[in-house]
Structure 1
C-alpha cells in the first residue's frame, strides 16, 4: 500500500515538473521567458520548454491591435477656457515585447493605465491649442495630434500607438446652456457677416453691370450716329445728283413730300392759295405766274 502511494506521489511530481517546464504559445501572442536576474528570452508561437518556476517564468503578451476605452470621461480645457468632457479610445499594438517587460518590470497588466495617462497629457495639450468652435470641428485632427504626442513615450514602452479617437465630446451640465448660447451668438454673427459680404458683392456686381450697360449704350449710339451720318451723306449725294439731272422734277418731288408731311387727315388749315408753297397744286408744271382773273362779262 505504501508503495502505491509513493508511486502516485512520484507520478504527480513528475507531471507537475513536466507541465511547469512545457508551455505553448498561440498565434496571437508571444512569450517572454524570464530567469533569475535580467536574463530574458523571447518565444514565438509553438511548443517550448523552460525550467520550472521559480527558476524561469513565462509572461504572455498579446501582439494584436488592442484598444483602451476609458469608462470615465476626462475634463479638458480649450484655449478660450471652456471645459469639455471627453472619452478617448486608444488603439495600439505591442511591437517590442522585451522592452515592454523591462519598462513595466513584468507588470504588463499596467500598460492600459500607462497609455491612458499618456493620452490625458497629449489630449490636454491638443485641446489647449484650439478654441471651442475649432475643437468641435477638428475632433479627428485633435485625435491625430494626441496620437503623435503619445508616440515617443509609448515607443519607450515598446508600443506603437495607431490612433486616438474621441468617442464622446460634451459639455459639463452646468455649462451647457451658457456654451450653447455663446455658440448661437457666434454663428449669428458669422451669418450676419456673410450676409453683409453678399450684399456688398451684389452691389458691386450691379454697379459693374450698370457701367457695362452705359458703355455699350454709348458705343451703340456712336455707331448709330455714324451710320445715320453716312446715310444722310449718301441721301444728300443722291438728291444732289437727282437735282442736277432734272431740277424741276426734284422740286416737284420735294413739294409732294412737304404736302404729305403738312396735311393730315381731319386737319383744318387756312392758307393763302396764291402762296409759292402751293404752286404745284395750282400748276403741275410749277409755274409761279398766278392764273389770270376771269373776265367779267359786259352788259349790253
Structure 2
C-alpha cells in the first residue's frame, strides 16, 4: 500500500500543477477546451482571465496568454501621392491594445506581426485617401496658432506705427514710390497657409479605430505622423527650383534698389548743384555790393586830397616792385615813376 502512495502523490501533484496557470500583470488569458474558448456561464461570452492564479482541467484545457498593455506599431515609412500628383514619404506610428481577445485570437491567432500587418494595411489605405485630397503645403503645416484677445490688435498697431514712423521720416527725403516700397516691405506676412496635419491624423484615427475594432478586436489608442519627407530623387530638384526662385526675387529687389539709388543720387546731385549755384550767385552779389561800397568809400576819402592819394599809390607800387631782392628793373630814373622818390612833394622833374 505504501508503494502505491508515492506514485499517487506524484500523479496528484503533477495533475495539480497542470491544472494551474498564472496570468501576470499586464496580461490576459483565455482557456481553450478542445480548440473552443470557454465562455462565461452567465453571459455566454468568452471568459477572459484577469491577472492572478487560475485553474483549468489538465490535459483537456489550454491557456493562451495575451498582451493587454498598449503596444506600438512603428513600421517603415511609405510613399503617398498628393492632390498635386507629387510624392511624399510619410513615417507614422500607431498605439494600440487588444480589446476583444476572442476576436483578436480568431483574426490573428495571437500573432502580433499578423495583427500589425492588417492594421498597417488599414492605416495606409486611410492615410492614402486623406493625402490624396490635399496639397503638400496643407500636409506639412500644422494649425494656425490662435492669438489671445488683444494680441493681434496690439501687434497690428505696433507694426502700423513702425511703418508710419518710417514713412514719415522717409517722406522728407525720399520719393513717393520709394516710401511705398519701404512701407510694403515692412508689412507683416498675413497670408498664412491653413495647415491640416492634425485634421489628417484625427480623420485617420477615427477611420482605423472603427475598422480595427470590428475586424481585429483591437482598440487604436492613438495615431501620429512622425515625419514627412520628399523622395530623394526629387528633393534636389525642388531645392534647386526654390533656390532659383529666391535668387530671382533677390535680383529683382537688387535691381529695384539700384534704380532707386540712382534716382536718389541724381536728385541729390541736382540739389547740390542748385545749392552751390545759388550760393555762388549770392556770394557774387554780396561781393559786388561790397566792392562798390568800398570804391565809394575810397573815392570819398581820396577825393578830399588827390595828391595824398597819388603819393600813397606810388608808395604801394614801390613796395610791390622792390619786394624781392632778385628783381631787376631797367627804367629811366627821370620817369614819373620815381618822382616821389626824388622829391617828397613830387614836383621834381
Which category describes the TM-score, using the shorter chain as reference length? 0.5 to 0.7
Structure-1 residue corresponding to 2:103: 105
2:296 to 217, 240, 251: 240
- The worse-fitting range, judged by mean Cα deviation, of 202-211 and 140-149 is 140-149
Going from structure 1 to structure 2, the CA distance change for 1:242 and 1:165 (only over 3 Å counts) comes to: same
1:14-38 deviation digits (Å, cap 9, x = unpaired):
112232xx3222xxxx334676355
SS at match of 1:59: strand
- The worse-fitting range, judged by mean Cα deviation, of 32-41 and 239-248 is 32-41
1:169-201 deviation digits (Å, cap 9, x = unpaired):
345xxxx7xx97798678656644543443233
Give how far 1:215 is off: 2.0
Structure-2 residue corresponding to 1:60: 67
Q: Spell out the pairing of 1:1-300 with structure 2 (5 A cutoff).
A: 2-19=4-21, 22-25=22-25, 30-32=26-28, 36=40, 37=44, 48-50=52-54, 52=56, 58-63=65-70, 66-70=72-76, 74-83=78-87, 86=89, 88-94=90-96, 97=97, 100-102=98-100, 105-106=103-104, 109=112, 110-111=115-116, 113-115=118-120, 117-122=122-127, 125-126=130-131, 129-130=134-135, 138=140, 146-153=200-207, 157-166=219-228, 169-171=231-233, 188=244, 191-192=247-248, 194-247=250-303, 248=306
Q: Distance in 1 between matches of 2:27 and 2:79?
A: 38
Report the TM-score when normalising by structure 2: 0.48
Task: Tell me, yes or no, if the aligned pair for 2:23 and 2:29 is still in contact at 8 Å.
Answer: no
Asked which structure has the greater RCO (Cα within 8 Å, sep 6+), the reply is: 2
Task: Tell me, yes or no, if the aligned pair for 1:126 and 1:145 is still in contact at 8 Å.
Answer: no
Q: Give the alignment's Cα RMSD to 1 decimal.
A: 5.0
SS at match of 2:85: coil
Give how far 1:59 is off: 2.6
Gaps of 5+ in 1: 261-279, 285-293, 295-300
Gaps of 5+ in 2: 31-38, 143-194, 211-218, 321-335, 341-348
Report the TM-score when normalising by structure 1: 0.54
Task: Tell me, yes or no, if the aligned pair for 2:28 and 2:65 is still in contact at 8 Å.
Answer: yes
Q: Distance in 1 between matches of 2:309 and 2:83?
A: 96
1:11-66 deviation digits (Å, cap 9, x = unpaired):
122112232xx3222xxxx33467635588896xxx634454879865323436x3
Q: Distance in 2 between matches of 1:74 and 1:206?
A: 55
Structure-2 residue corresponding to 1:265: none
User: How many residues end up aligned between the 2 structures?
Assistant: 237
Task: Tell me, yes or no, if the aligned pair for 2:70 and 2:95 is still in contact at 8 Å.
Answer: yes
Q: Distance in 2 between matches of 1:235 and 1:150?
A: 98
Task: Tell me, yes or no, if the aligned pair for 1:92 and 1:160 is still in contact at 8 Å.
Answer: yes
